[in-house]
Structure 1
Amino acid sequence: MRLAFRRNGLKRTVVTACGLSALLAASVTTGSGASADEPRPGGARNPSLNGPVITLTTVKVGAPGNPSVGILPFKDALYRSCADAPSLKECLRVGGVPYRYEIGQLEVTVEQWVAFLNTVDPDGRNRLRLYDETESSTAWPKYGQINLSPSAGTGRHYSVAFPQWADKPYGFANFLRAARFVNSLYNGRLVSKRTSSKGTFNYVTYQVALSPQTERGMYELAKPKTTRVHRTGFVLPSQDEWIKAAYYDPRGGGTYSYWKYPTNPGVFGDGAATAPSPTVLAPGTGEVTNAATQPLASYHADGKAAPSWCPQQLSPEACSTGNPLGFDPVIYAQAYQGSLSAVGEARTTSPWGTLDQGGNAVEWTDTITAPPSGQSSLRVWRRLHGGISNAPAYQMWPSAVGLQPQDNVFYNHTYPWLGLRIGVIGD
């Protein structure tokens, strides 16, 4: 995933998340990308408990020991194994997972993230750099999701910028922020756990009272190359866990049992011909208005406008010109087109029942990878997947294996489409 533009005059801007793949989406009954009932994630404070309680629903991913497949980064092809790929050196084996696990049905929302911020930073001092000023609606009208009020009471300094943002994915995550969120869950108190099913999909719904403890838990943040410390609990998905949940069809659909998109099997080698339809968003709320069109994903299809909205409380001028980067209106309009849509409203499911793994926000995994050629090996690089609402269809392919430094401060300021989805391993 790269955001490339010239800062010396900003004569040319390219905002494209390179190397981000989408989550698989399958049909509930036929394997063709059927829609699911619209879920509503929770993030509100429960006064009967001691802290903020959030509700998270996961899907169960079975078929342990499924075969992996070979991919060449960003190539429109899939191989039964790397031995079949034209370049063995570049080929990556992905998607095979030898155990059962769970992955979030939805991306983590702004409402849930605000509950987390007020839990771990009740004084609003931002010691852990979990918040950036560009996340505010004042600094960035169109994309600002969260406001920070220094004068608010303890545990209330952070708030959802506008009500319309509550059910959108949090979009300013780096790996360290995401890992701290997981640690807050891991160290938190399990209030309830409920299983359910619909068709072939199996779900687990957790209510968790968040913990203020973020530096230790599933991840030891004192170690830059931290990996999972425990065999059971909340995690960030690994690259293989993410890809399997998005693309692997246990019923054998697709190519070698893998789909091209998290929304539908597609056809490898046909470019974007079998890509899902792009979402259309209500201009003042970001709600999906064409959910009846299936399969569907929030991405920027060629020849069509990117899915976009801006809070209706703002003026058209603020939405089209206000930005913290100093871009003039023309450059800004070219660079920042796509917007995040309400989670789950595209309704197209992966083979396991997840939503929005294709498009919307790109998502962090905890998989460490080597840096790109010529880049510093002193930083820790991690894989990301899923495509974004501002990027073309190819970023939803399983071969879109994006990578970024886990602590990219530049992206914290400039990139409003970086999200996360939790996972669960063990019991």
Structure 2
Amino acid sequence: MAGDISVLSLYEGFFSGGARILHSDVLAGLHGHGQRHRVLSIHGQAHREATLQRMQDDASYRKLVATGLPVSALRAGSTGPADFDEAELAVFEREVSGVDVVLTLKEQPLRLVNQAGARGKPVITCLHRSDPENQGPALAELSTAVSAGAVTALVCCAESTRAAYRAAGIPADLLKVIPNGVDARRFCPDRPARARLRHALGILPDVPVIVFAARYDLMKNVPLFLAAAAVFLAARPDAHVVLCGAGMTTTNPLLTEDLAVVGLAASSRLHRLGVRDDPQSLFAAADVVSLTSSFGEAAPLCLIEGMMCGAIPVATDVGDCASIVVGRGLLTPPDPEAIAAAWAEALARRDEFGPALLASRAQFDRRRMIASYARLIRRVGRRTRMPLSATAA
């Protein structure tokens, strides 16, 4: 509609991961409510975590398209030269020419902004990690864009993100915290979904289920989780463990090797489900949602989604996990025996944690998050539209 703020989001690509799920959910919530959004992805497919992921197959892509957002890709494949050619720069020029604000999902797409320039459009970059110096050239690209004055604001999804980027030399006045949130209508306790998923996996209704929702990535410390799973399953012969996410499949040889090391390669009580479009069903079927990451996490979406569905969170102390879990679950040292013991304790204290999980739903409801994004984008977009005389005044 006339008068709406027009926004272009830049993605490095579409592949399974919390940051893309969250950013796409934000765009879907904002589009058509005083703002018009569209997405340009640098790559049309991604090869990550031993999985080829086409943009059109991605759940976030389908959600955006279903909401009415135009989505396109600059490059068809998953790779390409570091520099963009003239044709690619011309596409970006056309995409950015009619917008008021540019959003980038994380700092990686700033390489396109730095090469092409945003033609005077303000850029808001959304940050979703707590290890800015552990992402290749991404921090250098961010510093370049900040120094050039292209970046107007940096959205941090967690306090740990703001602290880490400030320590890395990013100006504090650019860093704004907007905590992660999820759709409370979708992520909620669901007894029928719990029963259906357990039945589909051959899991009895009342046995313990631990869910690990993560991609197969070094930061997630999958071997640590699997070592804890081996300890727990040996102690609880009725329990099951469910893995989901990119690379969490029977076709990933690295995961198979990890399972063999801990003696779980042939276990019928460990389920490898890969990328799923129904994480709410997995969390509803779970008793515990666990995270064993070693670094990089900010405000892990899996913990929030799991809690909203009634699963007790058990996590290592990384990023903002402590503030998310406190009073609702357990923090644990990165030790297999300690993690397995924490799962057992969480199950034993289920009645104690239940009311706290229920009370947390209002805090983590996405409506607060989307309203905060809307205000920031509106404020930045209105500055772009302000006439020069008003700016000078």
With CA pairs under 8 Å and 6+ residues apart, which has the higher RCO, 1 or 2? 1
The TM-score, its normalising length taken from structure 1, stands at 0.24
